[in-house]
């Protein structure tokens, strides 16, 4: 009897842990932006700029493991869509200030709002989830492991 109770408690705790890990999946939002497909096989930094901006999800391994790497992104209250870990999109943005809202789910909603000035030199924006919010960085550099990234599909 005592052994059965212990087994039951272990199973319940294990089930709660598994449920909490996989419950962090964020539902995708449909994009209202037109994605610019890269015509060439290789992506070159020189082909970006003048309003053509690459946005990528730079989530690290800790967020990939527990499924908290999915980012829902809005630009000027217009949904860009969802970027999963190691995904990127290329979009055309007007040269002006834009408000980026980013959301990821890590047991609770982690929201961030940041303004970015898009000019003729803006080429690459890195967005990644962190423990308490989301980090948005204007890098103008392609990720070092770009070959492991894939172009995001509209969902």
CATH number at residue 137: 2.60.40
Q: What is the pLDDT of residue 91?
A: 94
Confidence category of residue 4, pLDDT binned at 50, 70, 90: confident
pLDDT (tens digit per residue) in 35-68 = 887 655 678 899 999 999 999 999 988 778 777 8
pLDDT (tens digit per residue) in 61-109 = 877 877 788 999 999 999 999 999 999 999 999 999 999 999 998 778 8
Task: Tell me the whole-structure pTM to 2 decimals.
Answer: 0.80
Q: What percent of the chain has pLDDT over 70?
A: 90
| Tally of domains within the chain | 1
Which is it for strands 124-129 and 108-117: parallel, antiparallel or unpaired?
A: unpaired
Residue-number span of the structural domain to which 28 is assigned: 2-151
The per-residue b/e assignment along 118-133, b for 16 or more CB within 10 angstroms, e otherwise, is beeebbbbbbbbeeee
């Amino acid at each position: 009897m005592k052994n059965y109770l212990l087994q039951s408690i272990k199973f319940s705790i294990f089930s709660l842990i598994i449920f909490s890990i996989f419950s962090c999946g964020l539902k995708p939002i449909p994009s209202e932006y037109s994605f610019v497909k890269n015509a060439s096989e290789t992506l070159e930094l020189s082909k970006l700029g003048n309003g053509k901006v690459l946005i990528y999800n730079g989530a690290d391994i800790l967020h990939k493991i527990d499924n908290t790497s999915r980012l829902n992104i809005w630009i000027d209250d217009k949904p860009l869509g969802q970027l999963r870990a190691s995904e990127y999109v290329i979009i055309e943005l007007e040269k002006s200030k834009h408000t980026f809202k980013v959301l990821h789910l890590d047991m609770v909603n982690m929201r961030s709002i940041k303004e970015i000035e898009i000019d003729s030199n803006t080429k690459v924006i890195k967005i990644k989830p962190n423990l308490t919010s989301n980090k948005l960085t204007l890098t103008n550099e392609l990720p070092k492991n770009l070959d492991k990234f894939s172009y995001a599909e509209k969902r």
